Chain A
Amino acid sequence: MTEFLQQLLNGVLLGAIYALIALGYTMVYGVLRFINFAHSDVFMLGAFVAWYSVEKLGLPTQSIGGGLAALLLSMSVCAVLGVVIEKLAYKPLRQRSTLTVLITAIGVSLLIQNVAQNSRLGFGPNPKAFPALFPSQQLHFGALTVSTHQLVVLGVALSLLGVLYWIVHHTRIGTAMRALSFNATAASLVGINNDRIISFTFGLGSALAGAGGVLYAMNYPSIDPLMGTLPGLKAFVAAVLGGIGNLPGAALGGLLIGLVETFVSGTRLSTFRDAIAFGILIAILLFRPAGLLGKLKVEKV
């Protein structure tokens, strides 16, 4: 029972991180109808910004203030980066086919990864140890062991989800985002500046990915330039599982994928844990292509 609870906790933590990344995929898909492949690399950069802020800028480790500062710094850097990527690579392609944009996104993703892996231009290919940003301590609840880092991960993830919900549903810009995702032409007809909203969406999604990167690195404290690929793919699967373009769906999908993966890791099939998410993806596309919470759209001619 204790082991079950412990695994449940780990699964929820991993799921919360996947949810943060999945939200970025889903939001971008909502406004632009394409998969931002570079999202997983923004996630990786988020972790590296936090690493730099501690190792090079000398932010204190093991402190709440320092940890929050590192988190905010990497969220802002990632937000800026997301907007820059959108402006440089995707905006010129607004009227082109999905395939063109998709290939460009793959190119951007590869570019970030390879620059990051280059030891002259980036961080070099070797993994780096991620410092303990927040005070680390083991807390015991009965037989259950919880580290303060895990609590931070859970707390930050939940508050970010709350903030996102508030932005999307209770602010003007959030309303504009929803309008754009509903019907881009109609949105621009009623005076919404589509380009600005798209930039904002990229910024918001990338900030969440950056936070996800920091939280992921706190949980698995070894970071390298390719660390984003697998979590990114799984988060994408989560977005599809919940129904792409659907925000609560992405959160739910992330949670489910995190739980399934954690419980599979505890069994004999643990070496296949990375393949599980794709198995789920193929199953969901077969049986419910619109995702758990999504609505199937009929294509109009």
Chain B
Amino acid sequence: MVFPVAQRWLLAALILAGVASAVSGSMDPYFLDVVMGVGVSVVLASSLNLINGFTGQFSLGHAGFMAVGAYTSAMLTTVVAPRLGWNPLLLQWVFFPLSLIAAGLLAAVAGLAVGAPSLRLKGDYLAIVTLGFGEIIRVVLQNMDVVGGARGLTGVPAYSNLFWTFGTAALTVYTVWALLNSTHGRGFLAVADDEVAAEAMGLDTTRYKITAFGIGSFFAGVAGGLYAHLKGYLNPGGFSFDKSIEIVVMVILGGMGRHAGVVFAAILLTLLPEGLRELGSRSVPNPFGGADWSLDWIKEMRMILYSLMLIVLMLMRPQGLFHRSERRRRGA
């Protein structure tokens, strides 16, 4: 009887997102921006967790699929939508979600195109192929004048609100969760646990891997669409390897293959840079007299901290920070 409970949670989350969205008019825009960013991160991290965590593959190109989705939905709302002559409310509540689905579908197609040839490969090869694919997407976007090329795409309408970001986040977490309790999900877990054994049991491991990859890419694309309509501006450079790494760190920090841990890590790692930025703008009184010590250096340390965290985590706690026995695994 786990399903109905989970569905009730999903419903509660959606209603909460709707209420929050309705009262968000009076909230501080900066605060709203950060909070919606958290929602997008949760979508990204949960969907990557499906690929990297539950299915045990290692994708380094999540930002690439996000870019496909971001550009698809942004092109739909900036080029197609104005020609329809719909009123703004209809655009935000009907056209925008459709564009998000289109974004997800195109990203999924891209995911399948990459996944089909490369998922026959093992761990590190797959990492490199997905990384390479992310780079190809970036180069292609930079060379496409229709989408603004290297200058970027501006004037994307701000359709993302609390309802869309958090509703999608809740839906993503629910979908990944529900999927893992289905036949498909058991297949994913079997592939992650022991690919050879799974194959010996008659599972089509490549098909399971490709399915997981396609679904993960779909949500990455949706997250891209949300991101585009949150920032209002897209630049191919924003979907670089660094972005993929950021998502990977969320999944690893949360513990690969943990639902709640990854969501929590996504929230933490999205708020952390904001906190560091805030901290960096302050200064500490100098105990020896003289000028105050500026904490300016903290701003530059973010990526250094990320990378150190990654290394130390792998050396000390490769199972992730928030490891609890949410899912028992035999052996490794």
Contacts and interface: CB of A to CB of B under 8 A. Distances in A.
B117 A108 contact: no
Given A110-B310, A118-B304, A285-B129, A97 B332 contact: yes
B196 A233 contact: no
A299 interface: yes
B140 interface: yes
Interface stretch (A70-78, A88-96, A173-181): A88-96
B10 to A, nearest CB: 31
B318 interface: yes
A103 B300 CA distance: 22
Interface in B101-138: 114, 117-118, 120-121, 123-125, 127-129, 131-133, 135-136
Nearest to A244: B125
A107 B318 contact: no
Contacts of B93: none
A107 B128 contact: no
Nearest to A107: B310
Given A104-B311, A107-B314, A285 B117 contact: yes
Would you call the interface of chain A mostly helix, strand, loop, or mixed? helix
A275 B124 contact: no
Contacts of A152: none
Nearest to B114: A282
B322 interface: no
A108 B307 CA distance: 7
A113 B242 CA distance: 11
Interface hub of A106, A111, A229 (most chain B Cβ within 10 A): A106
Interface residues of A, number: 47
A110 B136 contact: no
B318 to A, nearest CB: 5
A131 interface: no
Contact of A278 (B56, B136, B311, B315): B136
B135 A274 contact: yes
Interface residues of chain B: helix, strand, loop or mixed (majority)? helix
B241 to A, nearest CB: 7
A240 B315 contact: no
Interface in A268-285: 271-272, 274-275, 277-279, 281-282, 285
A194 interface: no
Interface in A257-301: 271-272, 274-275, 277-279, 281-282, 285-286, 289, 299, 301
A97 B114 CA distance: 25
Interface in A33-73: 34-35
A286 B121 CA distance: 10
Given A233-B135, A274-B135, A282-B129, A110 B306 contact: yes
B81 interface: no
Contacts of B34: none
Contact of A279 (B131, B136, B308): B136
27 contacts: A35-B124, A35-B127, A89-B315, A96-B318, A99-B56, A103-B248, A103-B314, A107-B310, A108-B307, A110-B307, A111-B308, A113-B303, A114-B306, A115-B304, A117-B303, A118-B300, A233-B132, A237-B128, A274-B139, A275-B135, A275-B136, A278-B129, A278-B135, A282-B114, A289-B120, A299-B196, A301-B196
Given A98-B123, A103-B314, A111-B308, 13 more contacts: A35-B127, A89-B311, A93-B315, A103-B248, A104-B310, A104-B311, A107-B307, A113-B303, A114-B307, A233-B132, A282-B117, A285-B117, A299-B196
